[in-house]
Amino acid sequence: MKKLLILPLIALLGAASVRANDTNTPRSDLVVRVDTCEAILREFQASPTTAIPPGVWQKARGVMILSQFKAGFIFGVKGGYGVLMVKKPNGRWSLPVLIDASEASLGLQVGAKTINTVCILTDDATPRLLFTQRMDIGVDAKAVAGPSSADYENNATHIFIAPVLVYSKEVGLYAGATVKAGRVERNDIANFTLYSTSYTMPELLYSDWVSPPQDVQPIMAYVQQLSP
């Protein structure tokens, strides 16, 4: 409950901390981004209308949690951030790796400031697309709106033809609809600061060379609980 209550506040703090270059971003601001993403996921799971079904979590090979910011009057998102996590072969979830997010094409209502999205990755190849620096969700990897619990129970087979299942609170999306959820890019500079290491995204995601600092353990434990 505490995470849900502080989501609006930390989202604003996270927005203030996103810069074109994170070289001088304080580590505390980067921790806020991780906390915000955990709060977004918890908020999604707390509501029957947005909760990702257990069956989807069982098939998850990765998850991206994105917070993107409105730049235009009605449509268009030009900035944001998120985290990427992958499920390792041993069944344990990786460290949350910070990424940049931008150019969401999901419509925003007038007056809206942010759009929060959770993307379930259903294969092992899709997260690795970011190793080349960036990925356009819905272009480089096919993306469809993810099924609700009822959708999953009634017609799960065809839903999983896409490597990315997108969950958003925006109205008008129905399960299986093709969507474009924007561009995501790796942010090695932010991760150097967050983890006090020179390891980059591949090592942080797929190795055990960096011990999880206390700041990121809550989101790791929660995702592990959702997808053991």
Q: What angle do CA 70, 74, 77 make, to 5 degrees?
A: 30
Give dist(CA 166, CA 117) in Å, integer: 7
Give dist(CA 148, CA 120) in Å, integer: 13
User: CA dihedral in degrees (159, 161, 165, 171; nearest 10)?
Assistant: -50
Question: Which one-letter amino acid corresponds to residue 214?
Answer: Q
- b/e map 163-176, b = 16+ CB within 10 Å: bbbbbbbbeebebb
Give dist(CA 47, CA 50) in Å, integer: 6
Q: Is residue 47 part of a domain?
A: yes
Name the band, by pLDDT with cuts 50, 70 and 90, for residue 174: very low
Give dist(CA 56, CA 71) in Å, integer: 32
Domain containing residue 55 = 2-223
Q: Is residue 36 part of a domain?
A: yes
Q: Across all residues in the chain, what is the average pLDDT? A: 81
Residues 6+ apart with CB under 8 A from 207: 199
Going by C-alpha positions, the residue among 68, 70, 88, 71 that lies closest to residue 166 is: 68
Residues 6+ apart with CB under 8 A from 76: 70, 103, 104, 105, 108
Q: Is residue 169 part of a domain?
A: yes
Q: Is residue 66 part of a domain?
A: yes
Give dist(CA 184, CA 119) in Å, integer: 11
Q: What is the pLDDT of residues 28-50, one digit of tens each?
A: 999 999 999 999 999 999 998 89
Q: Is residue 228 part of a domain?
A: no
Name the band, by pLDDT with cuts 50, 70 and 90, for residue 132: confident
Q: What is the pLDDT of residues 67-100, one digit of tens each?
A: 987 655 444 546 789 999 999 999 999 999 999 9
Strand (E) positions, the chain? Answer: 62-70, 77-86, 97-102, 114-121, 134-137, 143-145, 164-168, 182-186
Name the band, by pLDDT with cuts 50, 70 and 90, for residue 176: very low
Count of domains forming the chain = 1
Q: Is the pLDDT of residue 128 over 50?
A: yes
pLDDT at 148: 78
